[in-house]
Chain A
Amino acid sequence: MYRYDEFDAEFVRQRVAQFRDQVHRRLAGELTEDEFRPLRLMNGVYLQLHAYMLRIAVPYGTLSSRQMRKLAHIARTYDKGYGHFTTRQNLQFNWPRLEDIPDILAELAEIEMHAIQTSGNCIRNVTADHFAGATADEVADPRPYAEIIRQWSSLHPEFSFLPRKFKVAVTAAEHDRAAIQVHDIGLHLKRIAGGGLGFAVWVGGGQGRTPLLAKKIRDDLPEADLLSYLEAVLRVYNLHGRRDNKYKARIKILVHEVGAEPFAAEVEAEWRRIRDGALKLPAEEIGRIDAYFAPPAFDPRPARAELRLPDRAFERWAARNTHTHKQPGYAVVTISLKPVGGIPGDASAAQMDVVADLAERHSFDEVRVSHEQNLVLPHVRIEDLHAVYAALKAAGLAEGNAGLATDIIACPGLDYCALANARSIPISQRISERLAPRQDEIGDLKIKISGCINACGHHHVGHIGILGVEKRGEEHYQLLLGGSGSEDASLAAITGPGFGPEGIVDAVEKVVDTYLRLRTDPGEPFLAAYGRLGPAPFKEALYVAA
């Protein structure tokens, strides 16, 4: 893992002291809310529907055991005993007192964490494939590049007041688990001509009220040119992005209105001007950062030929919640934060401690946060899987549902969020309870729920997406079908008239029933069936059939 150098540590320490003074002045009446709001947002502090909320950055979703334990400590000491892992691989506390937040940030600084740039019109926390550095299907660990981008973008003077927020995601696998095509910039690390590492660069994706898929504007960017090229993209956006209308201010609107080719041409022109300047990445510097992410000292003993399967529940969990590791004898373990009928992404302080202990004992001290609101132990010996499972089961964390219909993404929705129009969590709970008995039969299915048009619950890229709206003062839900955030990215389409809170659960079940009835065989995925059949039979089931 990356460790702070002296500059990082001093920078974060100073920032805590600065914010402590700002909070003190706010509480003393020396700063008005209008003056204070941008300062608190720069430090990840929102005012939500019921209380303040603190959003803590988890760079590229990677945590150490020590960091996870500190988050548990903060949940116990300053909040209400739990935290919420988000679709941007961050952690949110829902109930901190403003007067306590400087102390929380000071505690975070002790373990090399902060909340800087988790809000505001700046480059946000860089996200990455949550299996990075472990999965067998990547060309290299993408996190060193995410860390390089983090360092470049932290307090970047030119990009601290962009037209709107800016999100970057990185993957190094052909199977895209980082949803790069719905980010402002998506980077795909790959082998390029000549055999070296480089990037395909996707620009202008995003969800929100105007969902658009990114356009690939370069397919062969050498790794040494990563920062200069990103700087060129950001400069073009900063120059031309709209500042008169926040709903048209994201880079996706600019790329869409200008056109991908003219946009790329302007980026290339700027890039040619600066590519051999200070941002050129020397191989030694890439190597220096890369060393922080060196593979752990894996046990070279060959794995036993056959994994003992002591019980059916374990067998099912292992089949769903483990992924092929690049190191023989090891597995990547997904810890589901989606108990049937539970709250997606929530974990108690005690559960965080359990995960920290397991990571320390069985996963080389590493935990990952996935954008699907689960946790990951990236490096677990196959022989240790049952012990890990048993410990997770005791902590209520052994739901074997990764990728199934109950592994639902849901934003906090109206239960917490000041922007939301409808609740997301209770809908996810009811759908989870309804589909749980049949989830193995249904197979892979991504259901994603947002409580407002801002789409934090990624409903545009759900196989089944749900958008909560307000209709005559009450909750109402639109249903969307056919989205994907993966390498086959597509945007879901609204089926037709929406549903009330009860009706939407029935509607999802009707869609699932239709899929089960019409799929060619159990091996035909939902998206393939939807692509083959089109929306008609689903609409008929929803709106015509009695």
Chain B
Amino acid sequence: MSKAASSTSVLTANRLGDGAVVFLDYDGVWVEQVRGAAIARSPDEMRALQDRGAHDAARNLVVEPYLIEMQEIGGSFVPVRFRERVRVAGPSILAYVPGYTPTVPVVRQAHHQGEASVAPPELVDARPQSVAQAEAA
């Protein structure tokens, strides 16, 4: 797992069964869109994400979880490194691939038994205050 980033980060991994790139959301669910990813803004929050990633890797839900450093541009969060921007967006050349046919992702997490008896580490809710307060209201 990568070192904790200094600013804001999201946690990514590959789903075990099909290898799809996934991101951990605020509910502890691995989702395919970075838009819903939980954003960690402090070392404690990053550790919480990492702990959850290690837990879910041990349960065989995902493979090789690591933090991606993000930066806010124009109100949206995008990865700092170009490499991670490609990971988030997918290959840049799919429009040129001969015969390319996007397939519907199949979620088979239910097939993976893992260590269900171990409670997952709690996620720190690092949503921006305005979002958290609005949902609470």
What residues make up the interface of A, taking CB atoms closer than 8 Å to B? Answer: 26-29, 32-33, 47-52, 75, 79-82, 95-99, 341-343, 346-351, 396, 414-416, 420-423, 425-426, 429, 470, 473-475
In the assembly, what is the distance between CA of A82 and CA of B98, in Å? Answer: 7
| Chain B residues at the A interface, C-beta cutoff of 8 Å | 14, 16-21, 57-60, 63-64, 80-83, 86-87, 90-93, 96-103, 106, 108, 111-115
23 contacts between A and B (CB under 8 A): A29-B60, A52-B14, A52-B19, A80-B100, A81-B101, A82-B97, A82-B98, A97-B17, A97-B19, A98-B19, A99-B111, A341-B96, A346-B98, A347-B98, A348-B99, A414-B82, A415-B86, A415-B91, A423-B86, A470-B82, A473-B81, A474-B82, A475-B82
A473:B80 contact, CB within 8 angstroms: yes
Within the assembled complex, what's the spacing in Å between the Cα atoms of A84 and B57? 30
Nearest chain A residue, comparing its CB with the CB of B90:
A50
CB <8 Å contact, B63 and A33: yes
Does A29 lie within 8 Å of B113, measured CB to CB?
Answer: yes
Least CB distance, B30 to chain A, in whole angstroms: 15
Contacts of A341 in B (CB 8 A): 96
Provide the bound-state CA to CA distance between A344 and B135, in Å: 49
A49 touches B18 (CB 8 A): no
Report the Cα distance A349→B20, complex, angstroms.
22
Determine which of B17, B18, B20, B92 lies in contact with A415 in the assembled complex, contact meaning CB atoms within 8 Å.
Answer: B92
Contact B19 A47 (CB under 8 A): yes
CA distance A97 to B19 in the complex (A): 6
Question: In whole angstroms, how far apart are the Cα atoms of A80 and B98 in the complex?
Answer: 10
- Flag if B17 contacts A29 (CB, 8 Å): no
Give the residues in chain B near A97, CB-CB below 8 Å.
17-19, 106
Q: Which residue of B lies closest to A50 (CB)?
A: B21
- B102 proximity list for chain A (CB < 8 A): 80
Specify the main secondary structure of chain B where it touches its partner.
loop
Q: Are A47 and B14 in contact (CB under 8 A)?
A: yes
Residue numbers in A under 8 Å from B98 (CB-CB): 82, 342-343, 346-348, 351, 396
Check if B99 sits within 8 Å of A98, measured CB to CB: no
CB–CB B20/A82 < 8 A: no
Of all chain A residues, which has the CB nearest B108?
Answer: A99
CB of B99 within 8 A of CB of A51, answer no
**CB-based contact A343/B93 at 8 Å:** yes
5 smallest CB-CB distances across A and B, nearest first, come from A348-B99, A52-B19, A348-B98, A81-B101, A97-B18
What B residues does A421 contact at CB under 8 A?
A: 83
Contact A27 B17 (CB under 8 A): yes
Cβ contact of B97, chosen from A343, A396, A426, cutoff 8 A: A343
Contacts of B60 in A (CB 8 A): 26-29, 32
Q: CA A96 – CA B21 in complex, angstroms?
A: 13
Q: Which residues of B contact A475 (CB under 8 A)?
A: 82
Q: A33 — nearest CB in chain B belongs to which residue? A: B63
- Report A-chain residues with C-beta under 8 Å of the C-beta of B64: 33, 47
The chain B residue with its CB closest to the CB of A351 is B98
CB pair A349–B111 under 8 Å, yes or no, is no
B99 touches A351 (CB 8 A): yes
Beyond A51-B21, A80-B103, A346-B97, 20 extra complex contacts between A and B, CB < 8 Å? A27-B111, A29-B59, A29-B112, A47-B14, A49-B21, A49-B86, A50-B90, A52-B18, A80-B101, A80-B102, A82-B98, A99-B18, A348-B99, A415-B92, A415-B93, A416-B91, A423-B86, A426-B92, A470-B81, A473-B81
Q: How far is the CB of A76 from chain B (nearest CB, A)?
A: 8
Given the complex, which residues of A lie within 8 Å of B90, measured CB to CB? Answer: 50
Asked whether A473 lies within 8 Å of B115 as measured between CB atoms, the reply is: no
A415-B91, A426-B92, A470-B81 as given contacts; A47 in contact with B21, CB under 8 Å:
no
Tell which of A50, A420, A426 has the most Cβ of chain B within 10 Å: A50
Output the nearest chain A residue to B111 by Cβ-Cβ distance. A27
- Are B103 and A95 touching (Cβ within 8 A)? yes
Q: How far is A213 from B93 in the complex, measured between Cα atoms in Å?
A: 34
- Chain A residue nearest to B115 (CB atoms) is A29
Are B19 and A82 touching (Cβ within 8 A)? no
Whole-angstrom CA separation of A52 from B14 in the bound complex: 9
Residues from chain B with a CB closer than 8 A to the CB of A473 are: 80-82
Contact partner, B19, options A51, A81, A422, A470, Cβ 8 Å: A51
Which A residue's beta carbon lies closest to that of B18? A97
In the bound complex, how far is the Cα of B91 from the Cα of A421, in angstroms? 14
Distance of A342 Cα from B94 Cα, bound (Å): 11
Minimum C-beta distance from A104 to chain B (A): 13
